[in-house]
Structure 1
C-alpha cells in the first residue's frame, strides 16, 4: 500500500501539536515547583472542574470506544440494541461519581489501591491490584492496536510504525509532566475528537452511495438498530451490569477523581463527564448506522463490502476514507489518533503510579526516598509504554485479553472495592473471595481465547452463548463471601475463640477483647493531605 503523503503530513502536524500541549503541562508542573512522586500521580490535587471534565471524558472516549461503537452498529446480529459499551461506560462514570468519588477523595488516597493496602495489608492489597494492572496494560495495547489499523487504512503506513510512534510520543510527554501533561493533552485531544468526528457526519449522510435515510434502514432485515432475542436476555443483562460495574475500579478513572481540588469537585466532574461520554459516542453511532445503509459498490471501495472482506472492525476509518473528502478524512484521522492517545497516556500513567506506590514502595523499598520514587516512576512509565506496545504488535487477541481483564475486574475487584470503602473487611475474607471469584469467572470459559467452561452454569456453552448471568452472580456472591468471612474472623478473634498467635495475616484484630491498633500504610504526605481534605469536606458538606 502506497503511503498517503498529505495524510502523513497532517498526522505529523497533529503529533507535534500534542507534543506542545504535553510539554506545556510539564512546564506548568515545573512552574508550580512540583517534584514529588505523589504530586506527579495526582497533579498536586490541583485539577479544577473544567480541566477535570475534559481529562475524564477524554480518558474514557478512546480509540476502542469510537471504533468499537461503529463496528458494533454495523455488524449484523449486533446493532444499537447490542452496542452496550458507550452507554454502560457512561453510566459507570456517573455511578462511580455518586458512590465512590467523594469518599475516595475525602480520604486523601493517591491511587485506587491505597484503601486495599490500608485495610487488607501490603501483600493482599498488591494481590488484589493484579487484575487492575493487567486490565490497564491490555487496554492500552488494545487501543494502540486500533490506532495501527486506522492509520493503515487512511495513511498507508505500517501497523508497527503507527503503534510504536504513538506509544513513544505518549510516553515522552507523560515521562516529564506526569498527570499535568496527560490532563493538558487531553484538552487538545478532546477538541480534535469533537471537530474531527462531527465534521465528517454531513459529508457521510449526503453521499450519493447512501441507499436510504437511516430512519428507514433501521427496520430493514439485519438493520443497524438490531433485534431483540429473549433467549439471550440474561446475557444482555449480565453484560450490561458487567460493563457498568466493571467500568468503575480503574486507576485511570480514580487518578482523575483523586487529583480533583475538592471531594465535591471529584463527584461533579464524574457526573458531567457521563454526559460528555454519551455525546462523544453519537458520531460513531451515526457512522455505523450510515455504513449499514451504504451501497458500497457505488464507492471506490472494493471489491466487495467491508463486511464481506472481514473489515467491519475498521468501518469508521473506512467511512472517513471513502465517504468524505480527503481534507475531512484527515481531520477524522486526527480524531481517531487523539482518541487513542488520550486513553493510552492515561493507562501508561496509571500503570506507573500503581507499580511505584503499591508494589515497589511497600513491598520492595519501604524506606525509599522521594528522589528514588521519582526515578522508579520514570522507569515504570517507560516500561508501561513498552509492554502494551509489544502486545499491540505481537498479540493478535489483545482485545480478547482486555475483555477478560474487564470481566475479572468486575468479578474480583468491584466487590473488594465496595468492601474496603464502606465496610471493615480483612484478609481472611478477602483472599477466599478473591480465589472464589477467579475460579467462578474462569469456570464460565472464554470463547475469545478458546477456553471451554468447566463449571456447568445453566445454558452455558461459552459466555457469548450463555443466558445465565454468571458474571453478576459471581460478583454478588463474592461480596457476600468477603464480608461474611471477614466479620466471622473478626468475631472469633475478638471473643478469644481463636488465639492471637493464629492471626497469620497479621490483621491486628482485637484479640480476646484487647484492642490492637491497625497501622495503616500511608506516608506522612498522605496523612497531611487527608487531614486538610477532611476539613475542606466538612466545610463543603455544611
Structure 2
C-alpha cells in the first residue's frame, strides 16, 4: 500500500499547528488566579466571551461524525431522514432559551452540579455514568470518521490515524484545559469552513456527476413511509432534547463571562451549524447522483458502492471527484473537525469525573493540585477509551445517533426537574433513573446487540420497534421523578413515615440546596459580573 507523502506531510503540518496553538493557549491556565487552577482548567476562569463561545460551541457540534455522518445519511436514507443536524441545532436553540441562562447565573462548574446539590453527591456520581457513555460514544464516532477518511485518501491505516489523532488531542488538553480547547476550536472551525466549501465546486462539476435536480426525490430527498412516522418523530425528539444535557456544551456555557453572553452564543451556534454542515449536505447529494463507473473508483472498488462502504462516502468524494490538492485540503477540514470535538468531549468527561465523582464523593478535602492531576489522568483514560471505540465502530452515523440515546432518556428529565421543579428529591431522581434505563434497554438495540424484552405497539420482526419508545421511556422517567418526589415529600412532611427512615435526608438536602442557591443567586452573580467588568 503506497502512502501519499504530500498528503501525509500536509496533515503533519496541520497537527503541529493545532498542537502549538493548544499549548500557547494553555499558558492562560497558568496565568489565572492563584488557588483557582482547577477552575481555570475546567471553566477557563469564566473568561470566554461571546465570540469565542459561539465558535467553540459550534466546533464541538461540527465534528467528524457530523460531517461524515451527514453525507452518509443522505446517500443511504435521503435528506428526509438526515435528522441529526436539524435536531442538534434545534436542541442548541432550546438550550439557549430555557437552560443556559439559569445554569450560568447559578455559577455552577459542571452540568452535574445541580444534580449533586439537589439530589446528593452519590446521585450526581450515578448520573455521571450516562453522561460519560455519551461523551465516549461521540468521541469514538468522530475518531472513526477521521480514520476512515485518512485510510481512503492517504491509504494510511485507520487504526494508526485514530491513535495518533487521539494522542494529539489528549496532549494539549492535558496541559491547557478549556483554554487550549477553546482557542484551537477557532482555528479548527476556520479550517472546516474553508476546506469543505472549497471541495464543493470541484465535486459538483466533475464529469461523472449528474444533475442534482433530476429525479431528486428518488435520488437524494427520498420519502417518508407513514408506517415509520412514530420512528421519525421519536428520532427527532431524542436528538433535539437529548442534545441539551451535554457537559461539552455546558462547560462552555459555564465558562462564559455572563449569562446573557452564554445564551446568545448557544443560540448563534445552533444557527452556525447549518453554515458549516452545508458542504456535507451537498457532498452527500453529489455522491447520490454520481455515476461511479466513470470515476477511478471503478478500477479499485465495486459499483454500486456496497452498503458497508457507504460510511466512507465523504472521503470517496474527496478522493475520486476532486484534484489531489483539493482532497488534501478537505482532509485537513475533516481532521480539524475531529480534533475540535475530540478534545472537547475528552475534557468534558474528565472534568465531571474529577469534580463530581472524585472530589465530591470520595475526596472532599482534595487540593487544587490533586484535582488537576486527577483531571489529567482522566483525560488520558477517556481518550484511550474513545480511541478503542473509534477502532471497533461499524457505522459513523449510527454511533453519532446513539450517543444521545441514554442522555435523552435519563439525563434530560433529570435536568428538567433539577432546574424547574424545586420540590423533586433524591427518591424521585433515583426512581426515574432506574425506570428510564430499564424501559430504554427493554426496547433492545441491534447496534449494541441488546435483545428486545418489551415489544411496544406496532412492533415488527423485520423492522423492530415502530413505536416512539425512546420518548415513551423519557416520559416515564420524568413522571416517575415527579410522582415519587411528591409521594415521599408528602409521606415525610405529614409524618406518615418517620423522618428517621428518610435515608436520603431530603429535608437536609433541601436546606443545603436553598443555601447554595442563595450563595449563587442570579442577583448576586449579576452584581459580581458587573463589578468585575468595571474593574
The TM-score bracket by the shorter chain reads over 0.9
Deviation at 1:509, TM superposition (A): 5.5
Contact 2:118–2:513 (CA<8 Å) still a contact in 1?
no
Aligned to 1:66: 67
Moved more, 384-393 or 440-449: 384-393
Q: Per-residue displacement from partner, 1:450-505 (whole Å, max 9, x unpaired)?
A: 32311121012479643311111221222112112102211221121111110011
Contact 1:151–1:333 (CA<8 Å) still a contact in 2?
yes
Q: Decide which of 367, 372, 375 is 1:374's aligned counterpart.
A: 372
Give the SS at the match of 1:517. helix
Aligned to 1:429: 428
C-alpha separation in 1, matches of 2:463 and 2:418: 32
Residue correspondence of structure 1 range 61-460 to structure 2 within 5 A: 61-75=62-76, 78-211=77-210, 213-219=211-217, 221=218, 223-302=219-298, 303-305=301-303, 307-308=305-306, 310-394=308-392, 403-424=401-422, 425-460=424-459
Deviation at 1:274, TM superposition (A): 0.7
Contact 2:32–2:40 (CA<8 Å) still a contact in 1?
no
Contact 2:406–2:437 (CA<8 Å) still a contact in 1?
yes
Aligned length: 527
Contact 2:69–2:397 (CA<8 Å) still a contact in 1?
no
Q: Per-residue displacement from partner, 1:220-249 (whole Å, max 9, x unpaired)?
A: x4x101112111011100100010011111
Q: Per-residue displacement from partner, 1:401-421 (whole Å, max 9, x unpaired)?
A: 664442111111100000001
Give the SS at the match of 1:466. coil
C-alpha separation in 1, matches of 2:455 and 2:420: 33
C-alpha separation in 2, matches of 1:528 and 1:234: 42
C-alpha separation in 1, matches of 2:512 and 2:462: 42
C-alpha separation in 2, matches of 1:445 and 1:45: 42
Aligned to 2:492: 493
Do structure 1's residue 517 and structure 2's residue 511 form an aligned pair? yes
- For the structure 1 residues 289 and 396, does the alpha-carbon distance in structure 2 shift closer, same or farther, using more than 3 Å as the test? closer
C-alpha separation in 1, matches of 2:17 and 2:105: 36
Q: CA RMSD of the aligned region, Å?
A: 2.3
Contact 1:62–1:339 (CA<8 Å) still a contact in 2?
yes
Q: Decide which of 529, 535, 538 is 2:527's aligned counterpart.
A: 535
Q: Per-residue displacement from partner, 1:311-363 (whole Å, max 9, x unpaired)?
A: 11010111011111111101100000011111100011001101100100011
Aligned to 1:47: 48
C-alpha separation in 2, matches of 1:159 and 1:500: 59
Contact 1:453–1:462 (CA<8 Å) still a contact in 2?
no
C-alpha separation in 2, matches of 1:232 and 1:309: 21
Moved more, 486-495 or 94-103: 486-495
Aligned to 2:38: 37
TM-score (norm 1): 0.93
Contact 2:144–2:393 (CA<8 Å) still a contact in 1?
no
Deviation at 1:196, TM superposition (A): 0.5
Contact 2:107–2:525 (CA<8 Å) still a contact in 1?
yes
Deviation at 1:517, TM superposition (A): 2.8
- For the structure 1 residues 406 and 196, does the alpha-carbon distance in structure 2 shift closer, same or farther, using more than 3 Å as the test? same
C-alpha separation in 2, matches of 1:476 and 1:421: 17
Deviation at 1:137, TM superposition (A): 1.3
C-alpha separation in 1, matches of 2:248 and 2:186: 16
C-alpha separation in 2, matches of 1:19 and 1:419: 40
- For the structure 1 residues 309 and 239, does the alpha-carbon distance in structure 2 shift closer, same or farther, using more than 3 Å as the test? closer
- For the structure 1 residues 356 and 530, does the alpha-carbon distance in structure 2 shift closer, same or farther, using more than 3 Å as the test? farther
Q: Per-residue displacement from partner, 1:430-469 (whole Å, max 9, x unpaired)?
A: 1111111111111111121232311121012479643311
Contact 1:120–1:426 (CA<8 Å) still a contact in 2?
yes
C-alpha separation in 2, matches of 1:72 and 1:490: 47
Deviation at 1:304, TM superposition (A): 2.7
Give the SS at the match of 1:448. helix
TM-score (norm 2): 0.94
C-alpha separation in 1, matches of 2:181 and 2:285: 33
- For the structure 1 residues 225 and 429, does the alpha-carbon distance in structure 2 shift closer, same or farther, using more than 3 Å as the test? same
Give the SS at the match of 1:192. helix
C-alpha separation in 1, matches of 2:118 and 2:500: 20
Deviation at 1:305, TM superposition (A): 2.9
Deviation at 1:39, TM superposition (A): 2.1
- For the structure 1 residues 31 and 368, does the alpha-carbon distance in structure 2 shift closer, same or farther, using more than 3 Å as the test? closer
C-alpha separation in 2, matches of 1:397 and 1:311: 9
- For the structure 1 residues 504 and 183, does the alpha-carbon distance in structure 2 shift closer, same or farther, using more than 3 Å as the test? same
